[in-house]
């Protein structure tokens, strides 16, 4: 099942650029707000599995908002792929580096993002949406609490993230528009292998990152075990699960995003999002 945010309304995607408006197709059982689906994700998923009818919505990529627009919590994981840890020069850690991307940074699948500095970097990531409240999960329970996954970019301002004595990841990765997500939320049953997906991004057509999610140091179940050991995970939360190697900051010479460039981020079985960049006024 694929559910999109089309100009603020939840749409069950049934084909290429077409779908069912959730509020209309469910006769109002589920509202139009994509975030509100998480108040009863199980009920929604059950209804969606049997939903039929002629598509009543046509949409273009630029109409796609973030599939999870107002998550109560956003967890983000740093240095979670082996090759990225190597390129960044980080020794193995005993726990995943965890920070937040403040939710106002979220944007959709075809966004134009302003570059506040000349040192903004890309990080394509598998993003998980939590479907049901969870505390102290076991590995076996973890995937059951995932509503679906989407493609994300953890855009990062590299100078401010490490300008002080201690890392400043949360703010440096939360500038306006620094959390492109989409194109929609896909349930795990639609994925060829939920633990091993090709993940990549291209900048103006040139491949910058190309990896597989099976190369995570802490895999999805392990991340949810560790996060839920500390925090209660809430329906509609997001987890940015880390990025593979190939970021600009680790290149020689370093390379960052410039106005006019176009970044396409893709995950196997999910789809792709496009982010374009412009200068700050
Ligand atoms: Zn990241």
**Distance from the alpha carbon of residue 122 to the mean position of ligand 1, in angstroms:** 8
Distance CA 73, CA 88 (A): 27
**What is the rounded distance in angstroms from the CA atom of residue 188 to the CA atom of residue 89?**
33
CA of 276 to the centre of ligand 1 (A): 19
Check whether 254 has a pLDDT greater than 90: yes
- Give the tens place of pLDDT for each residue, 206-219: 999 999 999 999 99
- Residue 117: CA count within 13 A, CB half-sphere: 16
Query: Ligand 1: distance of its center to the CA of 100 in Å?
Result: 10
Is pLDDT at 92 greater than 80 in this prediction?
no
Q: Give the residue with greater pLDDT, 76 vs 90.
A: 76
Specify whether domain 66-279 bears CATH 3.90.850.10: yes
Q: Which residue has the tokens 């589920």?
A: 30
Alpha carbon of 54 to ligand 1 centroid (Å): 39
Tokens of 46: 């059950």
Distance (Å) from CA 191 to ligand 1 centroid: 22
**15: burial class by Cβ within 10 Å (0-12, 13-18, 19+)?**
exposed
Distance between CA 85 and CA 198 in Å, rounded? 18
Mean pLDDT over 166-187 rounds to: 97
CA of residue 120 to ligand 1 center, whole Å: 12
Which range (139-143, 165-169, 224-228) has the least confidence?
A: 165-169
CA of 58 from ligand 1 middle (Å) equals 33
Least confident range from 22-36, 158-172, 174-188: namely 158-172
**Domain chopping of the chain, boundaries:** 2-59, 66-279
pLDDT at residue 280 is higher than 80: yes
CA–centroid distance, 64 to ligand 1, in Å, is: 22
- What are the distances in angstroms from CA 167 to CA 163, 200, 242, 244? 7, 26, 16, 20
* 10: three-class secondary structure by DSSP: strand
The pLDDT assigned to 281 comes to 85
Report, as an integer, the average pLDDT of 108-126: 98
CA dihedral 206, 207, 208, 213 (to 10 degrees): 160
Mean per-residue pLDDT over the chain, rounded = 96
Model confidence at 244: pLDDT above 90: yes
Among 211, 4, 15, 226, smallest CA distance to 125 is for: 211
């Amino acid at each position: 099942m694929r559910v999109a945010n089309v100009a603020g309304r939840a749409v069950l995607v049934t084909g290429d650029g077409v779908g069912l408006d959730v509020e209309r197709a469910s006769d109002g059982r589920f509202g139009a707000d994509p975030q509100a689906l998480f108040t009863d994700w199980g009920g929604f998923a059950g209804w969606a599995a049997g939903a039929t009818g002629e598509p009543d919505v046509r949409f273009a990529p630029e109409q796609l908002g973030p599939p999870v627009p107002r998550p109560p919590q956003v967890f983000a994981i740093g240095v979670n792929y082996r090759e990225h840890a190597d390129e960044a020069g980080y020794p193995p850690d005993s726990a995943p580096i965890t920070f937040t991307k403040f939710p106002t940074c979220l944007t959709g699948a075809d966004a134009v993002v302003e570059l506040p500095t000349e040192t903004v970097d890309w990080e394509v990531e598998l993003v998980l949406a939590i479907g049901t409240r969870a505390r102290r999960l076991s590995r076996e329970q973890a995937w059951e609490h995932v509503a679906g996954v989407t493609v994300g970019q953890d855009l990062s301002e590299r100078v401010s993230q490490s300008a002080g004595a201690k890392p400043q990841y949360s703010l440096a990765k939360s500038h306006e528009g620094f959390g492109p997500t989409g194109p929609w939320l896909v349930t795990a049953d639609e994925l060829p292998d939920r633990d091993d997906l090709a993940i990549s991004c291209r900048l103006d057509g040139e491949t910058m990152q190309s990896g597989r999610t099976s190369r995570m140091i802490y895999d999805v179940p392990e991340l949810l075990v560790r996060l839920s050991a500390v925090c209660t995970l809430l329906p509609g939360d997001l987890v940015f699960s880390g990025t593979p190697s190939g970021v600009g900051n680790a290149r020689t010479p370093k390379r960052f995003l410039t106005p006019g460039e176009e970044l396409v981020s893709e995950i196997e079985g999910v789809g792709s999002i496009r982010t374009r960049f412009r200068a700050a006024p």
